[in-house]
Amino acid sequence: MAGTALRRRLTWQLATAAAVTAETASVSTIALELPYWPGHRAGQHLDVRLTAEDGYRAERSYSIASAPGEAPAITVERLDDGEVSPYLTEELRVGNQIEVRGPIGGYFVWEERNDSSPLLLLAGGSGIVPLRSILRHRDRSGSTVPVRLLYSARSLPEVIYRAELDRHGPGVEVIYTLTRQRPPGWTGHAGRVDDTLLAEVAWPADRGPLAFACGPTPFVEAVATGLVRLGYPPGQVKTERFGATGGR
Amino acid sequence: MSPVTRGFHGRRREPAGAEGRVPPGQYVTDDFPVLSAGPTPRTPLEVWTFSIRQDGSTARSWSWEEMRALPAERVTADIHCVTRWSKLDTEWDAVSVDTLLGQVDHDARYVLAFCDGGYTTNLPLADVTGGQAWLAFGYGGQPLEPAHGGPARLLVPHLYFWKSAKWVRGLELLDTDQPGFWETYGYHDYGDPWREQRYAGD
Amino acid sequence: MEPLDGNAIGGLLQEVFGTEMTTAVGTCAACGATAQVAEFVVYLRAPGTVVRCRNCLGLLMVIARIRDMNCVDLRGLAALEADPGV
């Protein structure tokens, strides 16, 4: 149950790919079936380990994209110079098995509570993945906590989960900023998140908001320090840094 | 052993033309991975020095200009990282460690390389002399980038590349072997890739 | 190469300590700063995992995988306290 510890020892398990869904041209979501799945908390991740025939191993971490209560799924961005992501996004088929360990994490997690602290979610690129889990958990739990999601992506076609994010109900505002390319007639924000955009989008510090920032290290550090400058107590800004190229 | 992941190949082991050049357990890479144990130091050339230290004091030191005035050579070498990647035919511009050590009177048997950021690594004197080691300031015909150890790094290609200390600032001359950073944490004191000496006890 | 944070070693630390550790609070032996493990600076791409203090960049932990064993050095931490609520 969310909030209680998993006392069972964390071990590698053979997970079966149950479904593979393309999210964008280079991003896929893989739904997994595990022999033992205790459930997870919104924001947690899985470790994935691949082993070649000669024993060569590669290991990476991927945030869980699904909400607590849903079957575990990871969303993977294919990196051109990647070692694991090309395999997961291009080679892996439904029915194939990969070693997985998890769920992992206790810091970068969100649980619906009884208070009404507004939630500020800040996503850089594939940093949207654990935040989507948080958004879905908020929906499924019936929470009415107000949410603002600031999502920085290179271009609109590279926005992951766009249809789902655009459908969001009342209480959730999604603000995009596109850093490399904008579609014709784009009236939204452009360029990297800076103090001006943060000041515009972030909940005022005196409302006691809780922030979750996830994405490449430079993005996370820029937004986290920006929020602290806006008066957010550092303990109210949770950070999760991905490798500069998008994965971990 | 872990179950094999269908269709996962890792990296190519030994491309055509590389027969005999890739030590056991290594794969050849075309890129140049950046591995680091800490933030990239940024020492300005005006304050950079390379020193040979002995018995607690500096025996000889060179400023950047003095070092660059020494005879330098173009070195082509295969390099092998303990994390299993190898890179063939890398090109460096470097001053031989023989040139540097030749200016100091000593009978040391070991050296401990010390670097900006606190990294150290140990080597037998016999492995940094006789044309086996260099102080490299250029890579691929360009000044060595900070991420790869610039302004200058040690280059000792016959041993695993953790011995080719980045951001090197000098060599401490020692009578006895003293483990450096990775050697303290369980890596091999010597590190011969051809005998696959990755970890202590190998 | 940008460093990551302690979230990236959540699985490794859970394997080593037998419990969730990203919320554990560590005290830097060099500067005394306290922070949750999730906030530590983590260098993954090295012959081992190197964990540093965000305040002074002092070495907190070094974890090397030596022949399928995790060799853990915690001398850079003056204290490490797992979150009792986890």
Neighboring chain A residues of B40 at a CB cutoff of 8 Å: none
CB contact under 8 A, A107 and C11: no
B148 pairs with which residues across the strands?
none
CB contact under 8 A, C45 and B147: no
Supply angle C-alpha B90, B34, B99, rounded to 5. 50
Share of chain C above pLDDT 90, in %: 87
Confidence of residue B195 (pLDDT cuts 50, 70, 90): very high
Write the pLDDT tens digit of every residue in B141-186: 999 999 999 999 999 999 999 999 999 999 999 999 999 999 999 9
Parallel, antiparallel, or unpaired for β B120-124 and C4-5?
unpaired
Contact present, B127 and B86 (Cβ < 8 Å): no
- Chain B: nearest CA to A50, how far in angstroms? 6
Neighboring chain B residues of A12 at a CB cutoff of 8 Å: 2
Q: In degrees rounded to 5, what are phi and psi of residue B53? A: -110, 145
Tokens of C22: 């990203």
CB contact under 8 A, B187 and C50: no
Task: List all residues 6 or more positions away from A84 whose beta carbon is below 8 Å from its beta carbon.
Answer: A48, A50, A58, A59, A60, A247
Residue of C nearest to B85 (CA): C47
Task: List all residues 6 or more positions away from B19 whose beta carbon is below 8 Å from its beta carbon.
Answer: none
Share of chain B above pLDDT 70, in %: 97
Residue A247 has a pLDDT of: 34
Three-class SS of residue B99? helix
CB contact under 8 A, B2 and A97: no
The partner residue sitting opposite B3, judged by closest CB among A51, A81, A87, is A51
- C85 or A243, greater pLDDT: A243
Residues A160, A166: Cα–Cα separation, whole Å: 11
Residue A9 has a pLDDT of: 74
- At A201, which helix (H) or strand (E)? helix A195-201
> What are the b/e assignments for B157-177, b being 16+ CB within 10 Å?
bbbbbbbbbbbbbbbbbbeeb
Dihedral sign, Cα of residue A177, residue A183, residue A188, residue A189: positive
In total, the C-beta contacts within 8 angstroms joining chain A to chain B are 49
Contact present, A66 and A19 (Cβ < 8 Å): no
Can you give the pLDDT of all 248 residues of chain A as single tens digits? Answer: 444 444 567 899 999 999 999 999 999 999 999 999 999 999 999 999 999 987 888 999 999 999 999 999 999 999 988 889 999 999 999 999 999 999 999 999 999 876 678 999 999 999 999 999 999 999 999 999 999 999 999 999 999 999 999 998 889 999 999 999 999 999 999 999 999 999 999 999 999 999 999 999 999 999 999 999 999 999 999 999 998 543 33
The partner residue sitting opposite A241, judged by closest CB among C5, C20, C37, is C5
Tokens of B132: 């086996």
Residue B145 has a pLDDT of: 97
Interface membership of A12 toward B (CB under 8 Å): yes
> What are the b/e assignments for A62-76, b being 16+ CB within 10 Å?
bbbbbbbebebbbbb
Interface membership of A92 toward B (CB under 8 Å): yes
Residues A248, A189: Cα–Cα separation, whole Å: 27
Write the pLDDT tens digit of every residue in B86-122: 999 999 999 999 999 999 999 999 999 999 999 999 9
A206: exposed, middle or buried (C-beta count within 10 Å: 0-12, 13-18, 19+)? exposed
Contact present, B137 and B151 (Cβ < 8 Å): yes
Mean pLDDT of chain C: 94
Sequential DSSP letters for A50-109: EE-TTS-EEEEEEEB-SPTTSPPEEEEEPPTT-SSHHIIIII--TT-EEEEEEEE-SSS-
Residue A154 has a pLDDT of: 97
Residue A2 has a pLDDT of: 41
Residues B115, B182: Cα–Cα separation, whole Å: 13
Residue of A1, A107, A111, A217 best to disrupt the C interface, most CBs of C under 10 A: A107
The partner residue sitting opposite B185, judged by closest CB among C3, C67, C73, is C73
Neighboring chain B residues of A51 at a CB cutoff of 8 Å: 1-5, 8
Nearest of C44, C86, C82 to residue C61 by alpha carbon = C44
Residue of C67, C72, C75 best to disrupt the B interface, most CBs of B under 10 A: C67
CB contact under 8 A, A87 and B3: no
Residue of C nearest to A49 (CA): C11
- Chain A: nearest CA to B16, how far in angstroms? 19
B142 pairs with which residues across the strands?
B139
Residue of C nearest to A107 (CA): C23
B124 pairs with which residues across the strands?
B110
Q: How far is CA A136 from CA A44, A101, A181, in A?
A: 13, 22, 28
Tokens of A179: 């850093």
Residue A98 has a pLDDT of: 98
The partner residue sitting opposite A217, judged by closest CB among C2, C22, C86, is C2
Residue A83 has a pLDDT of: 87
Tokens of A207: 């409302």
Share of chain C above pLDDT 70, in %: 98
In total, the C-beta contacts within 8 angstroms joining chain A to chain C are 66
Residue A165 has a pLDDT of: 97
Residue of B2, B6, B8 best to disrupt the A interface, most CBs of A under 10 A: B8
Whether a cis peptide bond, with omega within 30° of 0, leads into A103 is yes
Global pTM value: 0.93
Q: How far is CA B186 from CA A175, B179, B180, B183, C20, in A?
A: 49, 10, 10, 5, 26
Interface membership of A52 toward B (CB under 8 Å): yes
Q: For the CA atoms of chain C, what is the radius of gyration?
A: 12
* pLDDT higher than 70, residue B76: yes
Residue B12 has a pLDDT of: 62
CB contact under 8 A, C38 and A248: no
CB contact under 8 A, A83 and B10: yes
Parallel, antiparallel, or unpaired for β C25-28 and C77-81?
antiparallel
Residue type, C7: N
